[in-house]
A and B are shown apart, each in its own frame.
Chain A
């Protein structure tokens, strides 16, 4: 029997899953929307992923903002943050990569590498400007399907200037430009450019972007943003075919490195998972304690700041 590994990346907007073999080739993968419900999304994802004949699942890695919850749910052997997972996933395809640009739904990050080792990283701090959710909400506003967004953008010859500092300004600027009667593709192109400038000003602030540069995350599928990255950085950024799956691939690789002799399975459809919030009344901190129930049995709780909230029984 050959071994295979599952990596799941549960972001705020989308949920990604891949199954790789021990040589890190992708056997099965899928990308679905989270729709604000990671538990259901992962259940749905597990149904669509298939383990080929002759393979056994010998590791699960989870990453993304719901990594802790889903890690518990799947019984994962590795639960790692997005930065490490993205780096491992990318290094598998581009071992000499020096800079990773990642723009996801809710956050964006930059990772610097040298000889396959992370030397520096940064994440967006206060604001969601220049992330996928900003783009998708604006696409709804101007009535363009998010999937056509990029294509429309590159058709523009004269992108409008949109304030890139902050989403609030960008949005009011956008409305203003639309009311002046600019063409839709020019506005869309301006938005893509503002995402690039915002990213470079906020996340990439003060960092030297050395080549080769790899661009990934959901937004990397938007050809308009890719075009303006090339233009602004005056180079060609690499966008892999699997650029949206890199985090999940990294999680799977990490899980294979961790090594485990246990056999895992994907069949979680019949198990009921539930998260229940609980406000600890131990002191005026009122910590919100998150309890994860599996078939009505408490499997873990977190969120407590002191010992008082740790052993909460139902």
Chain B
């Protein structure tokens, strides 16, 4: 039987993950079908009711993949309930009668390359160390390049003169990224597209509205889970700042949290997952005179519930508009739009009267 690997979807990150697996494993890669309402239905049906929403999304994707032909699943784990996804999903899926191997690459939010290597070796016993390090290096670099470009796009996409140009060029870049063979090849593609993207004509007003989006990582990074909030903000003409991305979570978090903790004098502990990070981001956004903060989380996300009270107080003290959104698997689109629209109108009204 052929080995077929599948992994959950999150934003555009299937590009680097499928790149890595296609290079270092002897398996076929199954690109998961895009998340649709059917995915969530499947996920919600087979999940505990009060589990956080990313669990439902990823479980739904896994079921869809297993139904196709996947037999190896790869999941990550974080420093909250995310850390238990692996065990629970394995149990649920095998109870459903699926036969598969299930690997957890990252546990407790620590990226341990030795452990990842051990797991990859299990999937592909012929794997060589040098090859792993080489392709792992390329993947890391690819993620970093993607995040850099995405940051730039978020800052400027609202002001592009020809609508949709950023997305078009960026999608092209992702396609080229997936075909990259060497480290140098990756750099060449990156430099070419960086130039193309920087050359896109924009018309950015001087006193534009800037909003920072913070919150729980999966809901922030998977556009389907957050109702395409970034696109909606861009349509309003807002510059969006997002801190959370894979570069940060996998490669920088360990180092930066210590730094953040030192700068926050009201927080002494890490508070689990990204709660403390989000409090630091709030401070950053307030200090850097952003116009508003949107905090997004999936329902029942415990660490973020802990941070919300503190964020609310900080914003109240510094007179910063803040909107808390809690996304469930079946959130109505209309109520969401009304709240977001009102938030934008409020900021715009404040800004005009300054």
Q: Mark contacts of A207-251 with chain B using CB atoms, 8 A cut-off: 1 yes-contact digit, 0 otherwise.
A: 000000000000000000000000000000000000000000000
Q: Are A117 and B36 in contact (CB under 8 A)?
A: no
Given that A82-B338, A116-B353, A125-B326 are contacting pairs, would A284 and B321 also be in contact in the complex, using a CB cutoff of 8 Å?
A: no
- B36 neighbours in A (Cβ, 8 Å): 283-286
The CA-CA distance from A206 to B310 in the complex, in Å, is: 12
Given that A284-B38, A285-B36 are contacting pairs, would A117 and B350 also be in contact in the complex, using a CB cutoff of 8 Å?
A: yes
Q: Determine whether B334 belongs to the interface, using a CB cutoff of 8 Å to chain A.
A: yes
- A285 neighbours in B (Cβ, 8 Å): 36-38
How far is the CB of A123 from the nearest CB of chain B, in Å?
Answer: 6
**Dominant SS at the A interface?**
loop
Q: Are B321 and A119 in contact (CB under 8 A)?
A: yes
Contact partner of A118 (CB less than 8 A), chosen from B33, B326, B349, is: B349
- A123 neighbours in B (Cβ, 8 Å): 335, 338-339
- Contact residues, B34-60 vs A (CB, 8 A): 34, 36-39
Q: Mark contacts of B312-350 with chain A using CB atoms, 8 A cut-off: 1 yes-contact digit, 0 otherwise.
A: 100000010100001000000011001101100110011
Q: Are B353 and A117 in contact (CB under 8 A)?
A: yes
- B342 neighbours in A (Cβ, 8 Å): 81-84, 121
Q: Are B345 and A81 in contact (CB under 8 A)?
A: yes
The CA-CA distance from A118 to B346 in the complex, in Å, is: 6
Q: Are A118 and B350 in contact (CB under 8 A)?
A: yes
- A81 neighbours in B (Cβ, 8 Å): 338, 341-342, 345
Q: Determine whether A65 belongs to the interface, using a CB cutoff of 8 Å to chain B.
A: yes
Q: Are A284 and B350 in contact (CB under 8 A)?
A: no
- B335 neighbours in A (Cβ, 8 Å): 123
How far is the CB of B194 from the nearest CB of chain A, in Å?
Answer: 27
The CA-CA distance from A24 to B39 in the complex, in Å, is: 51
- A283 neighbours in B (Cβ, 8 Å): 34, 36
Q: Are B321 and A120 in contact (CB under 8 A)?
A: yes
- Contact residues, B16-34 vs A (CB, 8 A): 33-34
Q: Are B338 and A117 in contact (CB under 8 A)?
A: no
A contacts with B, residue count (CB < 8 A): 21
Contact partner of A83 (CB less than 8 A), chosen from B33, B228, B345, is: B345
Q: Are A117 and B37 in contact (CB under 8 A)?
A: no
Q: Determine whether A98 belongs to the interface, using a CB cutoff of 8 Å to chain B.
A: no
| Closest chain B residue to A114, Cβ basis | B319
How far is the CB of A203 from the nearest CB of chain B, in Å?
Answer: 13
Q: Determine whether A16 belongs to the interface, using a CB cutoff of 8 Å to chain B.
A: no
Q: Mark contacts of A284-313 with chain B using CB atoms, 8 A cut-off: 1 yes-contact digit, 0 otherwise.
A: 111000000000000000000100000000
Q: Are A65 and B334 in contact (CB under 8 A)?
A: yes
- B38 neighbours in A (Cβ, 8 Å): 284-286
Q: Determine whether A80 belongs to the interface, using a CB cutoff of 8 Å to chain B.
A: yes
How far is the CB of B323 from the nearest CB of chain A, in Å?
Answer: 9
Given that A116-B353, A123-B339, A206-B312 are contacting pairs, would A284 and B37 also be in contact in the complex, using a CB cutoff of 8 Å?
A: yes
Contact partner of A119 (CB less than 8 A), chosen from B319, B334, B338, B345, is: B319
> Which of B34, B36, B38, B345 counts the most chain A CB atoms within 10 A?
B345
Q: Are A80 and B37 in contact (CB under 8 A)?
A: no
How far is the CB of A82 from the nearest CB of chain B, in Å?
Answer: 7
- Contact residues, A114-162 vs B (CB, 8 A): 115-121, 123, 125
How far is the CB of B42 from the nearest CB of chain A, in Å?
Answer: 10
Q: Mark contacts of B280-318 with chain A using CB atoms, 8 A cut-off: 1 yes-contact digit, 0 otherwise.
A: 000000000000000000000000000001001000000
The CA-CA distance from A65 to B321 in the complex, in Å, is: 24
The CA-CA distance from A81 to B334 in the complex, in Å, is: 11
The CA-CA distance from A123 to B326 in the complex, in Å, is: 13
Q: Mark contacts of A76-120 with chain B using CB atoms, 8 A cut-off: 1 yes-contact digit, 0 otherwise.
A: 000011111000000000000000000000000000000111111
Q: Are A84 and B334 in contact (CB under 8 A)?
A: no
- A115 neighbours in B (Cβ, 8 Å): 353
- A121 neighbours in B (Cβ, 8 Å): 342, 346
- B37 neighbours in A (Cβ, 8 Å): 284-286
Q: Ordered nearest first, which 6 A-B pairs have the shortest CB separation? A: A83-B342, A284-B38, A285-B36, A118-B346, A284-B36, A84-B345
What are some 13 contacts across the A-B interface (CB < 8 A)? A80-B345, A81-B345, A83-B345, A84-B345, A84-B346, A84-B349, A115-B353, A119-B346, A120-B321, A121-B342, A123-B335, A125-B326, A283-B34
Besides A117-B350, A119-B319, A286-B37, 17 other A-B contacts (C-beta < 8 A):
A81-B342, A81-B345, A83-B345, A83-B346, A84-B342, A84-B346, A116-B353, A118-B346, A120-B321, A123-B335, A123-B338, A123-B339, A206-B309, A206-B312, A283-B34, A284-B37, A305-B228
